[in-house]
Structure 1
Amino acid sequence: MKFYYFNSTHWDREWYQPFQEFRKYLVDTARVLLEIFERDPDYRRFTFDGQTIVLEDICEIRPDWRPKLEALIRAGKLNVGPWYVMPDEFLVSGEALIRNLLTGKKVAEEFGHAPWPVGYVCDIFGHIAQLPQILAGFRLKGSVAWRGTEDKGREHLLWWEAPDGTRLPHINLGKWCGYSEFTFDVRGNHSAEPLDEQAFKTRLREYVERDRNRWNGSFILSDGFDHACPSPDTSKMLRWIQEAYPDAGVIHTDYTELFDHEFGCAERPVIRGEQIQPACHADHNGWQISATLSSRYDVKQGNDLCQNELELLLDPAFAAFAAAGKTEQLPMLNYQWKHLLQNHAHDSICGCSIDRVHRQILSRFEEVRDIGRTLVKEIQTTDRAALLKPGVADPNRAAADGCYTLRLYNPLPFELDEIREVELVFPADTAYPKRQAEPFGYEFFNSFRLYDEQGGEIVYQLKSIRRNQTCSFHRQDARSCDLYMVAFRTRLRAAGWTTVQLRPSEDVVRSFATLAVGPTSADNGLLRLDINPDGTFDLTDRRSGRAYRRLNDYRIDREIGDGWNHVRPVGNRRIAAASRAQTALVCDGPERIQFEITRQYEVPQELEFAGTIHESYAGIRESRESATLEIVTTVTLDRNSERVGMHTVVHNNVRDYRLQLLLPTGIAGGGFAEQAFACLERPDGRTHGTLSEPWPEPEMVEKNFAGIIGKRDAAGGIAFLSRAGLHEAGFLEDENRSIAVTLLRAFRRTVQTDGETDGQLPGDREFDYALDLFPAERTFAELVRAEQKLRVDLPSYLIASELVESRPDQSFFTLSGELVYSALKPAEDGKPGSAVLRLCNPTACPVSGELGFAAPPRRIALCRLDETEIEEVSGLNLTFHPGEIRTLRLEWE
């Protein structure tokens, strides 16, 4: 018999109290820990919850403690990392998870030692399929989890296999109290009160007898609790355990010995892929808690927008700078990433904290976006400086002849050929040389034409004009400008700049062409759009003849849950149809048509928690007062596009409800969902069906997805692509085989409060997404590229052509084939002339791809995810195994 005793504290940086209050307790905890190490030479080790951010938070208050902490870390007595913060795995990107581990590694090394080599995810609400491969990429010995992991005969020592076949030793913590099981069941409390020896030994024997079968002679005694101080009685407890079981081995562990000693046999059970098992038996308290996917949409949206900018724009742009030897801005970029990661702690990003915490989170997102704006200006300024003729003092001055050069930057490694809206910034203090208006001059505006790099005219649609707007160019340089929003087909080279020429027009610029084929119908050559009187619409794929009917429908359930759970009250009344609908044509031209659909629902304004005349609780009912919930969706159809863009605004004046978008597909047999570095197949309905009905925690139909969810069959299919904030959806078993996407949950319950208001998400809530109708031969990599196009913003600027010296533009990097592009970033070591490229194959079949460079690297090396090199690579044609993630270091002269 062996006892592996593990002691730690689970530290949520912010949760039922804000960060600064918790930090006071963190500093107190560190003080207690240092005192224990000083007075007890037998105190072998302590683990700080798999995170390194705690070190920064402590030392910012007590910098004098840093030498003591460093000494303990170097001595192997204090384990920190491998994470910077313990994240949620479903609500942050795969790249964010890798950046989290890279940052955790860096901070641990700054404190004098490598990070703790254990993939500790003790309290995360379910786990992605690729986590074993990610942890192995950082050379971690194994993983330790509690929630969501599959029961294999209630075994606790398992192998966990990723889609690529990577197997990692895995420990399922006790299902009742997980990382606190020993704390509650044996130690008997989570305070520093003195222990009674006899009571301790009695509880220990009861624990051993109860759990003898599931631990098979190797007991894990996990002693930790949320925000708990370390026990001063650790050495005493270890002695009592040995006395109670004299023949047993008693090991004060950090799990590394357990991985080394208990996994020599490959016959242990294997769990595979994502782990989202709800609590399924009476002694299972480790609830998976899936509804955090849809809590606090504003937080999810804020995070995704920051990730989009960092991963798809800033990282690749500054990787190109680094390849050219320009690394002066990398510290700012790294700081931006680190600041974002602070919001990825699972109780932060999951939306299950108090309102003050989420307000602080939203403020951090704003700071991340502030940094992003300055770095985007750096990208524009660098390009403009390379174009300007010598001696130009004012690069933002008006063009005397009205000829401008429009520069557009595409950071993605593939060409963009699609309709985009671009804002043209004209100086307002200088009249444009050519103006036009309809007869008799009702509204004058600049008359110009656009031309591509080959001199061909680009047809554009003028969507809006905002006159005399203040625009900031550089620091104190702010000017009055007229902003013209135009839509046109952008044909942009991969990973580089493209030039469009803007010239005054002698003639009126006008087009009578339209995509409309009726008052509420349009046809773009591939798709036909027909809007129904009730505000739903039908899409017909002209290639296959398949029609998807009654899209843009919604259903509304009442909500009495909180940040963790969606709960409908007894007698829930679901609203399934709008009371009024209206359609308006808001953009009509040769390249793009847009309809604005307004749907109104008459809804009881809130739930009331009623009492009786005896001041007793009587139950929950809908209020007598009603409100009109208005949902306005702009549907965009572009010429020759197989996607329909959608922008939805929910004017949210209703409380206590869940709003879902329904997408009838007519395709039976389950569907697919994107997850970090993976494409997962899921059935219609619940995975466990009626078997899960008696479980303590109900299995939800809606489950996690990263940004793509859809259905397909031999004739093709339909995919929902999200730009930001939407991560919960499921496949219904209704006759229409609908996809249900949760847009928002409005709730008032927050942890350890009497109710708060921010979780109701009052005001206007905006959603951007697209519906992609694809043919049978479409690959998942192509869907990911479509999603990345939706997510990325394209920097642009206008400059007087007379100031510009023309030069050829090139694509820094291109990727062709079926590999999925994940990251192009500056190397972690920050060396000039180097960058890191990450690609993956999220599918179950081998795929290939080819790399291209304007200036080929002199050296390419295969790396682990932690960017340590494995071997050199020759050639630019790559083939990936199913599920494989591969990282390449690129070096130039």
Structure 2
Amino acid sequence: MKPDTSHIKQIKVVSNTHWDREFRRSFERTRRNLLTMLDTTLDILAADPDYASFTLDGHSILLEDYVEMRPERRGQLEQLMQEGRLIAGPYYTLAEEFSISHEALVRNLILGRSVVEKFGGKTGTVAYTPSSWGQTGQLPQILQDFGLDKMMFYRGISHHEADAEWIWSAPDGTQVLASRFGLYARYNWYYQVHRAVTRGTVFDKTYQWGKENDLPFRLSDALSGEDQAYEIKSPVVQYDKEKLKQAVEDMIEREGRHFTTEVFLAMHGHDISVAHPLESQIIADAQELLGDKYNIEQTDLEGFWNEAQKHLDREHLPVLTGERRSYLKEGMWTFLFPGTISARTYLKQMDFLASNALVYYAEPLASLASALGSAYPAGYMERGWRYLLSNHTHDANGGCAPDNVCADMEYRYRKAGDIGDIVTEDAMAYIASQLSPKGMEQDEMQLVVYNPLPMERNAVVLLDLEVPRVNGALSVSLSSALDPLVERQAIASGNSSVFVDSIWDVPTILESRRIRLLASLTRLPGLGYRTYRIVPEARELRSSGTLITGPDTMENEFLKVQVNPDGTLDLHNKTTGRSYSSLNYLSDQGENGNAWKHVSPLHDRKYSSLGVPSQVAVTVSGPLSSTIEAEYEFAVPADYGDGESRSRVMAKLPVKVAYTLEKGAKHVLVKLTVDNRAKDHWLRANFPTGLRTGVTWADSHYDVLSRPIPLPDSTDWAERAEGTHPLRTFADMTDGRDGLAVLPKGIYEYEAFEDEHSTLALTLIRACRIKLAVSEEKLTELPDQGIQCPGLQSFEYAIHVHEGDWQEADLLAQAAQLYTPVRIAASGRGQGALPAEASFFTLNNPALHVSCVKQAEDGSGTILRLFNGSDTEQKADITFGIAPEQVQCCRMDETLLDEPELQLQLAANLLTVTIPAKKIASYKISMGVWAK
């Protein structure tokens, strides 16, 4: 029985391309095709006034890529964008969302809009993101803050949840209209109509040599690489009108039932596709042939929604809330593919570090320096963000691309990180230069400690000082008016020398004493600095006391720690009396999948490091911080053998794990290094919690959310449901009384098991093969080894035990302190008038998390963004050290607004804010003079 599609009256054809900036080929090789695509498209739009519009995917970076090589065509491109016939954005790049930071999502839209407007276009009201493998839950709130009230994607939303049109709600209640497209997603017209009438086929992808005079060409020598495809250099333009009517009717029959209104969305585009010279003629002919049934016209996504909204029964549309990571129950081509968050972990770690360098160091410290009189380095910051965001193309930042693409990404990550470090150092140096010299002799030294977080904090820090040898120092003490007795722990001391660089002279050499020590700094001001006087001491520092209590045990105020003979950890929470055993053991299983999804070998063999003998030794002993290390070899199969069973040849993976306990800490710091000598395997760190709970808690973009541990029965589904989930900075399990969380740095995949021990697992390596799935009919396996993550791989995370739930434990704030340590500089005396200690501002509620402190895009103030990840309204006082003249609510796109639900009360230096549950709040601050 044919499905009822009689309600379809209109067909809106949207001509477009999906442009993978770097995926199967490197960026430059792909740009060669971009030049051809846009040259052709511009020519067609110029020659054919009936060709309504062409959509350049959902991003704008390709405009810059094009005009860099075709500057002579910029004027034509800008004219077409002004006319609305060439459409790009609203994003700068189309990212895999769960592998990037929350602030990167916002900056992507800011830069995307800026680029589109520079080329004369507008970003409209539709967010078209057909690429991320799942969608983060707060996206509707973010999009609405950019005037985008419609959203289109198809991964993470299954057909059984909603028809094509539905409503997506963020956790705070902000809603957008959404579309998951039809059965064939973003290619339905392209395959079912366009290919039917121009290629004589619909879904068949067989190429017949010599059938057409189209000049296939392929480099075929030893210099050409492994994955060389034929490329058609002289395409044949053909069109069989006789097939058109049936092709359109077949498309409607297959997909019409998915659409809730009379308006059918027909997407004419494909990966790396080009505008077709006969497209407007084909659409006109379709209207001629089927005008008695349908109104068929070429339009854009705005045009589709403008018409569809007239017919929507919004009150009866399903409302789906929060993150969209549903597995495909029925249908095709729109699988979630959840595995990208664990592909090439090293790239995720690089992204994490580069993003932190820009967001949590460079921007807030440059804002602080700017408020004190320095010029804000806007050009540098834009360049740093461009390097970072240009890596956020989904196939690349998802870890799916070949090694040459990922090598280019590593270069850009280094550039972004370098710029973040440069801006941070310059801001720190400016503040040091403006400190008052009062009370200091010219030859004295001072330590300037910068806290980039807007909360008062204590910190155990490692100092690496080069002190002039002439003063005879064998050690140093530290002194500050508000922290007069700094507790220290000796690390090392010895004669050294260091270059003194100056653009005004040749590099000179300071004969020095290199002194390394730990220092316990207390009550450091929020988003500010404190100076300590460095006092030379003529005798070496001898630390008294230690956290070490035995050859394999440590203890502080809150925790008892034992490192077991197999390298695992036993942890006792002295506050609640709860103990945890065999934490941080490694497990390993086979991997026969690819970057997109995990596939177990048919006959898998799983391994555990439990019981593997290790060498355990104390490596650091002292009252502030102590470390016990364990080293062992973990034997696993060398590869997946024949693909059905793992190899019988074993590879020994050398593992070194350092456990560090600090004074006053409720967590153990872990640094695990493994020499990955195996292939095709999934290596995880495991934490048997013993906590009985049905859910986990983890932070996501501007949110903290729970996820059920039991898996749905997906036996008959098109895609098997997995237990893995994304996180940003923590994953937590709690029974309401006790809790255990893992706080990683740049590791984004976890899973909780319904096993005897309620185990929480963190993916370290998912080593697989590059199987480029550009077509279901052919998987191209490349010899590239980077995706196997070979060689030394290092991972850092903390095991944090707590009472109550994640909010009582302040896990967002705890994680922030781990991934945003204080920065420290030694300097001579300053030459200005700044006090010895100051704070830009301090926030007194750890339930509110600061997402950014940056200069406004127009340079007219400072943007402060907070979010409330909790389920309840939160109120906080923000105490400024620099009195603001004005504070205004703004959207994330920095447009000022009057938002009554974001209550503001400003009195002198004190700003009181009230932020509803799950709300992202942005403020524009006009700074005044330094507060007395």
TM-score by length of 2: 0.88
Which residue does the alignment assign to 2:639? 606
Which residue does the alignment assign to 2:385? 337
2:921 maps to amino acid: R
1:209 matched to 2:226: no
Question: How many Å separate the matches in 1 of 2:676 and 2:476?
Answer: 41
Mapped contact 2:639–2:679 kept (Cα < 8 A): yes
Which residue does the alignment assign to 2:242? 198
Mapped contact 1:416–1:494 kept (Cα < 8 A): yes
Alignment of 1:474-623 (within 5 A): 477=507, 479=509, 483-491=514-522, 492-506=524-538, 508-578=540-610, 579-609=612-642, 620-623=644-647
Question: How many Å separate the matches in 2 of 1:715 and 1:536?
Answer: 24
Q: Shift of the alpha carbon at 1:415?
A: 1.3
**Pairing partner for 2:303 from 257, 280, 293:** 257
Question: How many Å separate the matches in 1 of 2:514 and 2:788?
Answer: 35
Which residue does the alignment assign to 2:214? none
Question: How many Å separate the matches in 1 of 2:532 and 2:370?
Answer: 27
**Pairing partner for 1:13 from 2, 21, 24:** 21
Change (3 A) 1:571 1:712: same
Q: Shift of the alpha carbon at 1:796?
A: 1.7
1:305 matched to 2:372: no
2:152 maps to amino acid: V
Secondary structure of the residue aligned to 2:599 is coil
Q: Shift of the alpha carbon at 1:136?
A: 0.6
Q: Deviations over 1:424-477 (max 9, x none)?
A: 2334xx34414xxxxxxxxxxx23222233463212112245764655755664
Q: Deviations over 1:299-322 (max 9, x none)?
A: 111100001111111111122234
Q: Shift of the alpha carbon at 1:867?
A: 0.4
Which residue does the alignment assign to 1:703? 725
1:717 matched to 2:752: no
1:373 matched to 2:421: yes
Which residue does the alignment assign to 2:881? 854
Question: How many Å separate the matches in 2 of 1:474 and 1:12?
Answer: 45
Question: How many Å separate the matches in 2 of 1:484 and 1:750?
Answer: 51
Which residue does the alignment assign to 2:822? 794
Change (3 A) 1:93 1:71: same
Q: Shift of the alpha carbon at 1:709?
A: 0.7
Mapped contact 2:368–2:528 kept (Cα < 8 A): no
List runs of 5+ in structure 2 lacking aligned partners: 1-8, 200-234, 773-779
Which residue does the alignment assign to 1:742? 763
Secondary structure of the residue aligned to 2:364 is helix
2:698 maps to amino acid: A
Secondary structure of the residue aligned to 2:81 is helix
**Pairing partner for 2:286 from 241, 264, 279:** 241
Mapped contact 1:43–1:234 kept (Cα < 8 A): yes
Mapped contact 1:535–1:583 kept (Cα < 8 A): yes
Q: Shift of the alpha carbon at 1:363?
A: 0.9
Which residue does the alignment assign to 1:729? 750
**Pairing partner for 1:819 from 838, 848, 852:** 848
Question: How many Å separate the matches in 2 of 1:803 and 1:447?
Answer: 27
1:669 maps to amino acid: G
Change (3 A) 1:643 1:760: same
Q: Deviations over 1:866-885 (max 9, x none)?
A: 10111385432222222111
Alignment of 1:130-529 (within 5 A): 130-152=138-160, 154-175=162-183, 177-188=184-195, 193-216=237-260, 217-247=262-292, 248-263=294-309, 264-266=312-314, 267-281=316-330, 283-324=331-372, 326-387=374-435, 403-427=444-468, 430-434=469-473, 446-454=474-482, 456-465=484-493, 468=496, 473=501, 477=507, 479=509, 483-491=514-522, 492-506=524-538, 508-529=540-561
2:731 maps to amino acid: I
Question: How many Å separate the matches in 2 of 1:387 and 1:855?
Answer: 16
Secondary structure of the residue aligned to 2:607 is coil
1:633 maps to amino acid: V
**Pairing partner for 2:892 from 855, 865, 888:** 865
Which residue does the alignment assign to 1:443? none
Question: How many Å separate the matches in 2 of 1:192 and 1:734?
Answer: 60
Question: How many Å separate the matches in 1 of 2:94 and 2:38?
Answer: 19
Q: Shift of the alpha carbon at 1:423?
A: 2.0
Change (3 A) 1:843 1:48: same
Change (3 A) 1:536 1:14: same
Q: Shift of the alpha carbon at 1:750?
A: 4.2
**Pairing partner for 1:23 from 18, 31, 35:** 31
Change (3 A) 1:268 1:154: closer
Question: How many Å separate the matches in 1 of 2:576 and 2:828?
Answer: 48
Secondary structure of the residue aligned to 2:416 is helix
Q: Shift of the alpha carbon at 1:781?
A: 8.3
Secondary structure of the residue aligned to 1:734 is coil
Question: How many Å separate the matches in 2 of 1:565 and 1:706?
Answer: 20
Q: Shift of the alpha carbon at 1:60?
A: 0.2
Question: How many Å separate the matches in 1 of 2:317 and 2:540?
Answer: 76
Change (3 A) 1:153 1:459: closer
Question: How many Å separate the matches in 1 of 2:281 and 2:62?
Answer: 27
Mapped contact 2:680–2:768 kept (Cα < 8 A): yes
List runs of 5+ in structure 1 lacking aligned partners: 435-445, 610-618
**C-alpha RMSD over aligned residues:** 2.3
Q: Shift of the alpha carbon at 1:260?
A: 3.0
Question: How many Å separate the matches in 1 of 2:164 and 2:337?
Answer: 20
Q: Shift of the alpha carbon at 1:541?
A: 0.9
Mean Cα deviation higher: 880-889 or 462-471:
462-471
Question: How many Å separate the matches in 1 of 2:236 and 2:363?
Answer: 47
Change (3 A) 1:12 1:520: same
Which residue does the alignment assign to 2:209? none
Change (3 A) 1:568 1:465: farther
Which residue does the alignment assign to 2:208? none
TM-score by length of 1: 0.92
Q: Deviations over 1:163-210 (max 9, x none)?
A: 0101101011224x3211221122127887422112222121111122
Give the paired residue count.
855
Mean Cα deviation higher: 775-784 or 512-521:
775-784
Secondary structure of the residue aligned to 2:797 is strand
Secondary structure of the residue aligned to 1:335 is helix
1:67 matched to 2:67: no
Mapped contact 2:475–2:515 kept (Cα < 8 A): no
Q: Deviations over 1:827-882 (max 9, x none)?
A: 01123xx1001011112221121111112211111111110111385432222222
Which residue does the alignment assign to 1:641? 665
Mean Cα deviation higher: 531-540 or 751-760:
751-760
Mapped contact 1:847–1:881 kept (Cα < 8 A): yes
1:227 maps to amino acid: I
Mapped contact 2:401–2:770 kept (Cα < 8 A): no
Q: Shift of the alpha carbon at 1:244?
A: 3.5
1:63 maps to amino acid: P
Q: Shift of the alpha carbon at 1:482?
A: 5.0
1:554 maps to amino acid: L
